[in-house]
Amino acid sequence: MNSRRTFIKHAGLAAAGAVLLPSFACSGAAAEQKVGLQLYTLREQIPHDVKGVIEKIAQAGYKEVETFGYSANAGYWGQDPKSFKDLLKANGLTSPSGHFVIDDFITSDNKELLKPLIEGAAAINNQYFTVAHIAEPIRKTLDDYKKITARLNEAAELVAQSGLKLAYHNHAFEFDKHEGGSTGYEIMLNGTDKNLIRFEMDLYWVVRSGNDPVALFNKYPGRFVMWHVKDMDKANHAINTEVGTGTIDFKNIYKHAKQAGLEHLIVEQENFSKDPYVSIKQSFDYVNQKLI
């Protein structure tokens, strides 16, 4: 996970040098249902051809994208926020969420560290400012998670000043047992302000860690406003595969979308056994035809 964290944090700088499933209002009648894609899925392609990649995502049927790797210097893969927003609009896309790494903020008292990131998110009309990952050295104990939780609450207040909401994206490490059998995820869910902080559940990592997404929806209803949807390979659980071809029972999980509080469902895939564009189209078709 260190490699992913580093990639997300520095992807914007590198570019300068060069799932979602349906969106609907769970409290009432379903709104137009859309399928979105986390752009990290195409991390190898997008720095070299931002316009072409965005066009191919739209051609595959996606209506939303989730960003990653933004920096004030490099923008979105060399594009300033306005240009990137215009590119999305030209292709019928919006971006309800972006992934950001805020380890520096968590380990310091400098609130200014978040300002350029928040500005970048707000400039493309993100609804959610999503914390993508927490580095291993600062999350070793439950006390570490208590500190992280306190800083997430502070970050959420700063984000709210720009009309955004803070969200947290999990991996598997949050479910590691600590003293007393507690987990970091429990500390964050119980210690964060429900009115300010939401959670983006990565279904693959929850299942891979041995946990049940539906049990979490039941215990913490309404907290999981976004899902990452990537399937678990049948032969090798350490890798993921196209949605609908692996071991995760998405149809059953999706039945509990209202209980979870789902607003945006985001397709993501981190490794491929086929052409990535063929892959994202296959996942889109399954979600669009079999789930929503």
State how beta strands 240-241 and 231-232 pair.
antiparallel
Q: Which of 182, 157, 87, 102 is nearest to 134 (CA)?
A: 102
- Average pLDDT per run of 10 along the chain, which is 292 residues long? 49 42 37 86 98 98 98 97 98 98 96 97 98 98 97 98 98 95 97 96 98 98 98 97 98 97 97 97 97 91
Q: Which of 26, 2, 20, 6 is nearest to 230 (CA)?
A: 20
Provide the 3-class DSSP secondary structure of residue 286. helix
The model's pTM is 0.90
The pLDDT of residue 22 is 38
Residues 11, 9, 173, 39: is their CA dihedral positive or negative?
A: negative
Q: Which helix or strand (DSSP H or E) is residue 226 part of?
A: strand 226-229
The pLDDT of residue 109 is 86
User: DSSP of 70-136, one letter per residue?
Assistant: -BTTTBBTTB-HHHHHHHHHHTT-EEEEEEE--HHHHTSS-GGGGHHHHHHHHHTT-SEEEE----G
167-177 as b/e, with b when 16 or more CB fall inside 10 Å?
A: bbbbbbbbbee
Number of H helices, E strands in the chain: 12, 10
